[in-house]
């Protein structure tokens, strides 16, 4: 079935792959991105260049805190809300930015969605909500206990999604991504930094004692899970997107 999707954060790492995939399915896409300077905006423009001229795609360069969201949602059947301020370490020093971009922007979009006949509203969350996981593998029934301000804002977005589903029937689905990697990955993330250090013959600093583990998820798998959530996931639920 052909759908009309709104994708926020569409020029980002996962968002650009998701946008291309939706267009490949024949969907109509409204792609929103603010092209913020958390990392070089030119990288995001390169990401968006693959779909900016597609006649089925409307690219909107704007901030969700300033847009007329009711008009943006007109005719949309599925929302994929990926726009957010990323990064754990910087969230300690710039918490106000994270609150605005992750929490307030999400609340505004959910409030507008309460008046729109959506099939699904998919919210991108993070494995950061778990903090120091109590068990491995980590199931969705583990109580979120984030250990960073970034993780705290992601817990807040999940709670907002649940509130708007419970009180206004917004068909929200929350996805907890586990360290997605692949082409177009942010330059500040480990895989890019490891490769850069290797090419330059420079040492790579490891935090901790080297025994930490991480569940990495290839971007095409993350996109497949995101599409599945937008088509048929149970509203009101949270799902891990990872390899286990």
Q: Using alpha carbons only, what angle is made at residue 189 by residues 229 and 109, rounded to the nearest 5 degrees?
A: 40
Q: Is the CB of residue 217 less than 8 Å from the CB of residue 175?
A: no
CA distance 4 to 76: 5
Distance of CA 48 to the CA centre of its chain: 16
Q: Is the CB of residue 135 less than 8 Å from the CB of residue 143?
A: no
Residue 96, classed as helix, strand or coil, is helix
Residue with tokens 């907002």: 160
Tell me phi and psi for residue 35, to 5 degrees.
50, 50
For the question of residue 39 being annotated catalytic, the response is: no
Residue 208, classed as helix, strand or coil, is coil
Burial of 37 (0-12, 13-18, 19+ CB in 10 A): exposed
Return the axis-axis angle of helices 105-113 and 149-168, rounded to nearest 10°.
10
Residue with tokens 């007329």: 68
Catalytic one of 98, 150, 164, 239: 150
Residue (of 35, 149, 139, 38) closest to 88 by Cα position: 149
Residues constituting the chain: 244
**Bond from prior residue into 155 cis (ω within 30 degrees of 0):** no
Q: Write out the catalytic residue numbers.
A: 150
């Amino acid at each position: 079935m052909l759908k009309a999707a709104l994708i926020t954060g569409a020029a980002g790492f996962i968002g650009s792959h998701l946008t291309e995939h939706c267009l490949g399915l024949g969907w109509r896409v409204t792609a929103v991105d603010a092209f913020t300077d958390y990392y070089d905006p030119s990288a995001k423009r390169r990401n968006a260049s693959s779909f900016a001229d597609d006649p089925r795609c409307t690219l909107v360069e704007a901030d969700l805190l300033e847009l007329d969201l009711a008009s943006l949602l007109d005719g949309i059947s599925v929302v994929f809300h990926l726009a957010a301020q990323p990064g754990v370490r910087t969230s300690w020093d710039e918490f106000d930015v994270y609150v605005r971009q992750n929490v307030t922007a999400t609340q505004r979009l959910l409030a507008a969605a309460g008046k729109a006949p959506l099939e699904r509203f998919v919210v991108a969350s993070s494995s950061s909500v778990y903090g120091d996981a109590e068990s491995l593998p980590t199931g969705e029934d583990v109580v979120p206990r984030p250990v960073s301000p970034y993780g705290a804002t992601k817990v807040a977005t999940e709670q907002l999604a649940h509130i708007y589903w419970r009180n206004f029937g917004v068909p929200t689905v929350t996805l907890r991504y586990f360290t997605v990697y692949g082409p177009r990955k942010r330059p500040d993330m480990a895989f890019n930094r490891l490769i850069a250090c290797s090419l330059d013959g420079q040492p790579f600093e490891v935090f901790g004692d080297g025994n930490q583990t991480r569940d990495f998820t290839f971007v095409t798998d993350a996109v497949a899970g995101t599409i599945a959530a937008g088509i048929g996931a149970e509203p009101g639920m949270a799902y891990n997107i990872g390899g286990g």
